[in-house]
């Protein structure tokens, strides 16, 4: 079963109903560059909707194949004026935004954003709001993130705009943070000491079924204003999920020992060390598993019938996710999460920062390879291709980052050959990209300051058909710690950055030979 299948038009609950004047209905998607939103948008387009997206950084939208088919509004969800404009002439709003930050104040920030959107939608007479919340038990203390998602749903339900809140638990699909946590824990550890929540019952749901319900939610009766639980057909213990993955991945089932001493904080550190999931995302995931998350009822069936072929069993969802991972066609990923650092302000031009403290490492090399051949090597850097210098030193730097709660090198890259602005690249993120010429990466590892790495390929003025490679690392230190950090790593730069310049140009020459 293909987890990326799109609506066929034969399913009446999933196709758009034209407006009274015969024009297509209009949908606004908030969170369109996230894991679910990036998959929902093309399905809305396929179902016959005109789509507008609200994105904090419009450059991130350009990474998607559907970018030229949507209207883009560049703004934050808490920007009242921009949201007011964004909801104008909109029939249905899909709100897929929620903070994964563990920082203070995220609950109030999420509430304010939801209130801003709710008020604007009511003023614009939007017909429906669809919100994807979290599956949770009743009558128990919830984690801060689950509590926040419940609160956001309540904001919309009180808005005066008919709202359907879909409460989903663990989502299984290629690139899902929940799936990646299961995958890496199972593959890395032959024996798993785990928190006691591995014994809790969970009702996972395939990403394709989440998308089915989201599309159907736009078509429910206008009087519906409520929250409903959604889940797949299987209720499993978390440990059973891991061993179900092992079977589908061709691995031996793992012995699991539940340890009562692993608190959510300690468990999130453990997940951060063993998987590519950074602690900032691991902690809310772990906290959401502290209670059993099983559907309280199946009222959703009266509003949105299940897919014609039925809901996807857990192991079938894993099988589909694995097939997409191996094919290198991950459509969206947790790596795109804005909490990890969207492309922010570009690297200031030299005159703007020349007066402040900035450390640089600049390398230039000439190569007989063409600029096109050199660019192919630059664009393919990172992930499985590595960084063209001492793998050991890069691995040590990655582990150092993981030990302090960073993301390390294991995040990899979404595509082996192509990059786009906003893509994650190990512990960097693509901040600027001029195809064929320039790649600028912004560091997301834990460092006492801000760091960039810029790589350029230009024609060599002195030799026809040859090219020049320019490489620049820039570091803006923060306080004394930043200056000491730069001095500490300075001896390694001769190996790392000089080696990169040599090997990138040599690889370009070899590929062109």
Query: What CATH number should be reported for the domain whose range is 12-338?
Result: 3.40.50.720
Share of the chain above pLDDT 90, in %: 42
**Best-predicted range by mean pLDDT among 250-254, 274-278, 435-439?**
435-439
Q: Which two tokens stand for residue 141?
A: 């203390």
- For residue 60, what pLDDT is reported? 80
The three-class DSSP label of residue 158 is coil
SS (H, E, C) 298-333: CCHHHHCCCCCCCCCCHHHHHHHHHHHHHCCCCCCC
Q: Where in the chain is the domain with CATH 3.30.530.20?
A: 349-512
Confidence of residue 487 (pLDDT cuts 50, 70, 90): confident
- For residue 398, what pLDDT is reported? 78
Q: Where in the chain is the domain with CATH 3.40.50.720?
A: 12-338
Q: What is the mean pLDDT of the chain?
A: 83
- Angle formed by the axes of helices 264-274 and 177-188, nearest 10°: 70
- For residue 5, what pLDDT is reported? 43
Judge whether residue 340 has pLDDT over 50.
no
Q: Which of 108-122, 282-296, 404-418, 498-512 has the lowest mean pLDDT?
A: 404-418
Q: Which residue has the higher pLDDT, 236 or 326?
A: 236
Spatial distance between the Cα atoms of 119 and 115, rounded to a whole number of angstroms: 6
Mean pLDDT on 170-191? 80
Judge whether residue 326 has pLDDT over 60.
no
- For residue 10, what pLDDT is reported? 40
**Best-predicted range by mean pLDDT among 51-65, 291-305, 329-343?**
291-305
The three-class DSSP label of residue 27 is strand
Pair 341, 425: CB distance under 8 Å: no
Mean pLDDT on 443-459? 89
Residues 6+ apart with CB under 8 A from 208: 1, 2, 3, 4, 5, 173, 307, 312, 317, 320
Mean pLDDT on 66-79? 93
- For residue 357, what pLDDT is reported? 65
Residues 1-42 have pLDDT tens digits of: 444 444 444 455 578 889 999 999 999 999 998 889 989 999
| CATH H-level, domain 349-512: superfamily | START domain (3.30.530.20)
Mean pLDDT on 110-124? 96
Judge whether residue 327 has pLDDT over 60.
no
Pair 2, 10: CB distance under 8 Å: no
Judge whether residue 433 has pLDDT over 60.
yes
Residues 6+ apart with CB under 8 A from 479: 448
The three-class DSSP label of residue 28 is strand
- For residue 71, what pLDDT is reported? 96
Q: Which two tokens stand for residue 419?
A: 């990059």
Q: Which residue has the higher pLDDT, 199 or 415?
A: 199
Judge whether residue 161 has pLDDT over 90.
yes
At 6, give phi and psi (nearest 5°).
-110, 165
Mean pLDDT on 398-406? 75
Residues 362-388 have pLDDT tens digits of: 999 999 999 999 999 999 998 888 888
- For residue 7, what pLDDT is reported? 41
Judge whether residue 312 has pLDDT over 60.
yes
Pair 456, 508: CB distance under 8 Å: no
Spatial distance between the Cα atoms of 203 and 233, rounded to a whole number of angstroms: 8
CB-count burial class (<10 Å; 0-12, 13-18, 19+) for 360 = exposed
- For residue 174, what pLDDT is reported? 79
Buried b / exposed e along 189-216 (16+ C-beta atoms within 10 A): beebebbebbebebbbbbbbbbbbbbbb
- For residue 150, what pLDDT is reported? 93
- β-bridge partners, 130: 94, 164
At 361, give phi and psi (nearest 5°).
-130, 115
Residues 260-281 have pLDDT tens digits of: 666 666 767 667 666 667 666 7
- For residue 241, what pLDDT is reported? 87
Mean pLDDT on 78-93? 96
Residues 145-156 have pLDDT tens digits of: 888 999 999 999
- For residue 264, what pLDDT is reported? 63
- For residue 70, what pLDDT is reported? 96
């Amino acid at each position: 079963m293909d987890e990326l299948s799109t609506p066929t038009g034969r399913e009446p609950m999933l196709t758009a109903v034209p407006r009274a004047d015969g024009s297509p209905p209009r949908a606004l998607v908030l969170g369109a560059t996230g894991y679910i939103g990036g998959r929902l948008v093309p399905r809305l387009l396929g179902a016959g909707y005109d789509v507008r997206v609200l994105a904090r950084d419009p450059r991130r939208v350009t990474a998607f194949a559907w970018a030229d088919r949507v209207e883009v509004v560049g703004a934050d969800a808490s920007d009242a004026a921009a949201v007011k404009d964004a909801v104008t002439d909109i029939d249905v709003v899909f709100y897929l935004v929620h903070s994964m930050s563990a920082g203070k104040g995220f609950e109030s920030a999420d509430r304010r954003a939801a209130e801003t959107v709710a008020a604007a939608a009511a003023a614009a007479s939007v017909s429906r709001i669809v919100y994807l919340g979290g599956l949770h038990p009743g009558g128990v203390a919830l984690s801060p993130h689950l509590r926040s998602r419940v609160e956001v749903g309540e904001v919309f339900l009180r808005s005066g705009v008919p709202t359907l809140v879909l409460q989903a638990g663990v989502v299984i699909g290629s690139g899902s943070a929940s799936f990646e946590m299961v995958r890496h824990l199972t593959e890395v550890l032959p024996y798993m000491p785990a928190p006691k929540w591995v014994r809790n019952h969970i009702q996972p749901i395939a990403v394709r079924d989440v998308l089915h319900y989201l599309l159907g939610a736009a078509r429910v009766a206008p009087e519906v204003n409520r929250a409903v639980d959604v889940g797949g057909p299987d209720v499993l213990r978390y440990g059973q999920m891991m061993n179900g993955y092992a079977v589908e991945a061709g691995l031996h089932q793992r012995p699991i020992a539940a340890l009562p001493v692993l608190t959510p904080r300690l468990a999130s550190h453990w997940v951060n060390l063993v998987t590519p999931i950074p602690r900032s995302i691991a902690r809310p995931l772990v906290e959401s598993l502290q209670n059993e998350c099983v559907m309280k009822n199946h009222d959703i069936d009266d509003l949105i019938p299940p897919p014609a072929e039925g809901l996807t069993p857990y192991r079938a969802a894993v099988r589909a996710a694995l097939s997409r991972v191996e094919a290198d066609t991950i459509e969206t990923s947790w790596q795109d999460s804005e909490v990890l650092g969207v492309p922010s302000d570009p690297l200031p031009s030299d005159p703007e920062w020349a007066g402040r403290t900035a450390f640089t490492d600049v390398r230039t090399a000439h190569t007989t390879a063409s600029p096109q051949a050199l660019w192919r090597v630059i664009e393919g850097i990172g992930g499985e291709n590595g960084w063209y210098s001492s793998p050991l030193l890069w691995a040590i730097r990655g582990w150092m980052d993981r030990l302090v709660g960073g993301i390390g090198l294991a995040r990899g890259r979404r595509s082996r050959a192509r990059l786009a602005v906003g893509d994650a690249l190990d512990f960097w993120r693509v901040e600027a990209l001029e195809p064929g010429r320039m790649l600028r990466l912004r560091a997301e590892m834990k460092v006492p300051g801000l760091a960039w790495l810029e790589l350029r390929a230009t024609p060599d003025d002195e030799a026809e058909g040859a090219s020049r490679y320019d490489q620049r690392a820039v570091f803006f230190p923060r306080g004394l710690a930043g200056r000491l950090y730069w001095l500490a790593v300075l001896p390694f730069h001769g190996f790392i950055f000089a080696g990169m310049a040599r090997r990138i140009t040599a690889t370009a020459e070899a590929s062109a030979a």
